Chains A and B, each alone.
Chain A
Amino acid sequence: MTELLDSLRYDRWAIQALLLIPFAGALVVALAPARFAKGLALAVSLIEFIVSLGLWISYDPAGPPMQFMGVEPWIPAWGISYRVGIDGISLMMVLLTTFLMPLSVLGSWAGITTRQRGFYAMLLALTTGMIGVFVALDLFFFYVMWEVMLIPMYFIIGIWGGQRRLYAAIKFFIYTMAGSLLMLVAILYLYFAAGQASGGQHSFALDHIMRFALVGGKPAAWLFVAFFLAFAIKVPMVPFHTWLPDAHVEAPTAGSVILAGVLLKMGTYGFIRFAVPLFPHVAFSPTTVNVVVTLSLIGIIYGALVAMVQPDLKKLVAYSSVSHLGFVMLGIWALNEQSTQGAMMVMINHGISTGALFFLVGMIYERRHSRMIEDFGGIARTVPLFSAVLTIVALSSIGLPATNGFVGEFLVLVGSFRAYPWATALATTAVIAAAAYLLWALKRMLYGNITKQENRELTDLTGREYAVMVPLLVMIVWLGLYPKPVLERMGPSVRSYLETVQERRAGPEQVVTPPTE
């Protein structure tokens, strides 16, 4: 297989193809007759997934840190280039994205009945933006992709969303934009600082900026704040999380799946790729550590507690995301191999489990037009298969051993315990809380006697819905029992990330004056 890919020179065109296929697909879907929209979108996203599988096969953990590199000058006058590449960390994020896309298309099959062409075109355009964010190695390109992805999501929530979709859409848009625009100024500052330090070589390439923009002192603190805001809003960390329940609840099923599965990870990915390695002095200064660990902890516990009292199943899942992402932040800030690997695993697992939960919520909503837990009760008798699947997915979200959720949370807790024992001890309580809110919700919905007449006639999962759920279930079991291939591929990249951060942190903190042309 590797030979075949080599003979196709897969490493030369892989990323470019992954960026272009969905974009071209979006144009085709938008222009083709409406009745082909679904089918075309499914085909495009499947092709995308198959192409991306090559990354998994031919990525060499022992090879150079960045693979499948592609570099083209874009706006030479400003030192901007199209520069992409993949390491073990972004590999997983790209695969998560391409894995969830065909499922999202298939999951929207029945739910989206109006303006289908627009919907599927937006989904595909979104794919390009998301993959662009994960592969970008040029800060300008990264910023453009980060913003561009907002538009399709804005339309997906705003046009095909629920009752309060307009409010949720604009809130989502403005929160993200507010964070990222300050990051834009910070990026410019780094660009000039690097240009000055390198003797007039202006470039937005990440390695160039890492090498030369050794900003320290007060400017560094401000720059870190700018990056921090952009990423913390996306994660989201408390107190920037208020857009999340609105957006997740109002978005159509596929939108929620992608929001939770991929978009939230852009925030944590941004910390690993940019904010932490660029400013390790600031990121691990006592103040920042206290703030981040406290906020993560609040997120973990607060998310779990709020989830517990939600009457709306979709909202419950949304708040559980706040809790899960808190674990990721804790893992990143513990800064050791186990915790970082764990954080990556939680990112992947959350994408799979929460994605699956949102799909299931969508399926039951299509049948009953309600997501209120109290409207159900005992439906395990009428829809046994649905109930079984929901139970498995919920258990994986709780982090039951032998499911994927366990691996990530366990690694994070073990790693973080070495760095912040007290905080970790507190975070552990949220695992119990997670069990409480999900199991309690399951009990009220699935088990016991049927309390409502309407629930007697529910139909069980259809073939199409199986097609959506089975891949997710396979992943849940596979990653729970045998996560080694994933950990193996991430390992070297995680280690080199940690080395970079430690090295830069050990280096002297330079104080530079504001750059001028």
Chain B
Amino acid sequence: MNLDLANGRDLVLALLPELILSVWAMLLLLHAAWRHKEPDAQRQVGWLSLVGIIIAAGSVMWLWASGARIEGIATSVAVDKWRWAGSLIVLIGTGLTTVLAIGYLDREDLRIPEFHVMVLFAAIGMLFLVSGSDLFVIFLGLELMSVSVYVLAGINRRSIVSAEAALKYFLLGAFASAFFLYGIALVYGATGSTKLQVITFQAPVTTGSAQLMLLAGIAMLCIGFGFKVAAVPFHQWAPDVYDGAPTPVTAFMAATVKAAAFGAFVRVMLQALGLVHQDWDQVIWWLAAATMVVGNLIALAQRSVKRMLAYSSVAHAGYLLTGLVPGSAAGAAASLFYLLFYTVVTVAAFSVLIAKGRQGEREVTFDDLAGLAQSDRLLAFVMAVSMLSLLGFPGTAGFMGKWYILTSATGGGYPMLAALLVITSVVSAGYYLPIIMAMYMKSRAHERAHEGVQLPGVVRGMLVAATAIILVFGVWPNRALDLAREGSHSFMPSRIVPLATPLAAPLSPHR
């Protein structure tokens, strides 16, 4: 299906998932405002928003299956497989978060139906993030997402840490947005466009001061994205914010927000700047290396499970960046594959944490999990599989993801980075294994240690499904692999036809 965005009907089709979700979110906002006082309004809005997410996901799959694409013209939104794959990851993550949040808000007695609407707005921003093929659309998506998540982080008005988290996130996030915006300005100055397809062909031929401007612009963009994916040294906000925010929001930030930001990051670096790969691969190399080393080492020192997961999500940003370093389609596919399962695993791990944290959310330490396997086999099993998958242990999808990233790094000529990745993975065993150890090998502190653990049946079902996915794709990853490869082919330069803009010099893949 060829789409012509000048045509109104085609434009609607191209933006169908975003439009569906926007309209749905507005309606839900009205509904929430109308019935705000009623106690089960929160639950109602939650389930309704899940319906909206499923419909949007359906539209994404329909567009993917129908082979929708735009040919020939540089547009502001991409219609390609990368976008569909990214959107699906975002919608899966959002759906899981919503299911988690319904039970959580109930338990914590937070009667805030708007919570789910804010999650939807964030999801819309993320959809734009992965679909934007113009730096401005990407920026708008980034802001829509960020502002919604700032609100979500501070949604528990009774909690001081939650407020602190929100403020910290907001201040630093605003700062990062400024960097990002400035980066856009510089790239625009150097190449004369904010459209990724135009930058592709202008970037390699910039010279002199324009080239300097471009390099500075790339650096700024990297800082902006680095902040959103919590890469070292732009990760300082992450642990405090993750720790302070309500746990479903933490799961949302650690998994879905990171995935969406990464989707855009990879697109910008490969689609717009793929031909000047040699200008930025060293930067990302060091970002990746620092993120893996620092994230893993600090995670090792944590006693609180939530903080450990926060730092581990920093470490995982490092693994994902490793997939970006080679600047190849294989690397992009690896990141996409990794993101899909990372999202599922992270949400699963956080749901166990939510089940364990009782009302008022006392901090859950490693020792609090002691003997969980004797009280709640399912929960312990889910957590164990999640930990092994995060560790990248064979038999889980996490291993296949890590393997894919290793393949792309080694194949791209960065064996040192691959070696660093595996060494830091060994370090990560030092904090993932103690969780398994606590659950299975230590005994309960007292008979009733796990009495408060409760989990709605729906969440239980969701966890079983997530675990099955992690294990099945850990052994037969073929289907997901094919999809990831298809998604990454969106960036093959041959697919992009140059615009009418005249080029200053003949094209060459490398300067």
**Which of A's residues lie within 8 Å of B, judged by CB?**
75-78, 143-144, 147-148, 151, 154-155, 158-159, 165-166, 169-170, 173-174, 177-178, 181-182, 184-185, 188-189, 192, 514-517
Contacts and interface: CB of A to CB of B under 8 A. Distances in A.
Pairs of residues from A and B, 7 with the lowest C-beta to C-beta distance, nearest first: A181-B422, A517-B411, A158-B441, A144-B394, A188-B410, A147-B394, A178-B426
A182 B415 CA distance: 11
A77 B437 contact: no
Contacts of A151: 388, 393
A57 B430 CA distance: 46
B194 interface: no
A158 B437 contact: yes
A159 B411 CA distance: 41
A174 B406 contact: no
Contacts of A169: 437, 441
A184 B422 contact: yes
A169 B437 CA distance: 9
Interface string B452-482: 0000000000000000000000001110011
B168 to A, nearest CB: 35
Contacts of B411: 188, 192, 515-517
Contacts of B328: 517
Contacts of B388: 151
Among A75, A77, A181, A515, max chain B CB count under 10 A is at A181
Interface string B382-407: 00000010000111000100010011
A173 B413 contact: no
Interface residues of B, number: 35
B415 A514 contact: yes
Contacts of B394: 143-144, 147-148
B5 interface: no
A177 B441 CA distance: 20
A78 B407 contact: yes
Contact of B415 (A76, A143, A185): A185
B330 interface: yes
Given A159-B441, A185-B410, 4 more contacts: A77-B482, A181-B426, A185-B422, A188-B411
B393 A188 contact: no
Nearest to A196: B411
A285 to B, nearest CB: 21
A165 to B, nearest CB: 7
Contacts of A515: 410-411, 413
B422 A77 contact: no
A155 B381 CA distance: 13
A185 B410 CA distance: 8
24 contacts: A75-B481, A77-B481, A144-B395, A144-B399, A147-B393, A147-B394, A148-B394, A151-B393, A159-B440, A166-B442, A170-B430, A173-B429, A178-B426, A182-B423, A184-B422, A185-B410, A185-B418, A188-B407, A188-B410, A189-B410, A515-B411, A516-B413, A517-B330, A517-B412
A94 B270 CA distance: 49
A192 B411 CA distance: 6
A169 B434 CA distance: 10
Contacts of A158: 437, 440-441
Nearest to B395: A148
B478 A77 contact: yes
B426 A177 contact: yes
A159 B406 CA distance: 33
A168 to B, nearest CB: 11
Nearest to A226: B419
A39 to B, nearest CB: 23
Interface in B427-446: 429-430, 433-434, 437, 440-442
Contacts of A173: 429, 433
A182 B422 contact: yes
B385 to A, nearest CB: 11
A184 B419 CA distance: 9
A184 B423 CA distance: 11
Given A151-B393, A517-B411, A185 B406 contact: yes
Contacts of B83: none
A315 to B, nearest CB: 22
Contacts of A184: 403, 406, 422
Nearest to A517: B411
B393 A174 contact: no
A516 B412 contact: yes
B485 interface: yes
Among B437, B442, B485, max chain A CB count under 10 A is at B437
Contacts of A77: 478, 481-482, 485
Contacts of A147: 393-394
A159 to B, nearest CB: 5
A75 B413 CA distance: 23
A8 B232 CA distance: 61
Contacts of B422: 181-182, 184-185
Contact of B429 (A174, A185, A514): A174
A230 to B, nearest CB: 11
B425 interface: yes
A173 B427 CA distance: 12
A29 to B, nearest CB: 15
Contacts of A192: 410-411
Interface in B259-298: none
B157 to A, nearest CB: 42
Contacts of B393: 147, 151
B437 A75 contact: no
A181 B183 CA distance: 38
Nearest to A222: B415
Contacts of B395: 144, 148
Contacts of A148: 394-395
Contacts of A166: 437, 441-442
Nearest to B417: A185
Interface string B230-255: 00000000000000000000000000
B429 A177 contact: yes
Contacts of A189: 410, 415
Interface in B64-95: none
B182 to A, nearest CB: 35
Contacts of A188: 406-407, 410-411, 418
A78 B334 CA distance: 12
A443 to B, nearest CB: 38
A214 to B, nearest CB: 18
B287 to A, nearest CB: 20
Contacts of A144: 394-395, 399
Nearest to A143: B394
Contacts of A177: 426, 429
B410 A181 contact: no
A185 B442 CA distance: 34
A181 B433 contact: no
Among B394, B415, B485, max chain A CB count under 10 A is at B394
Contacts of B477: 75
Contacts of B418: 185, 188
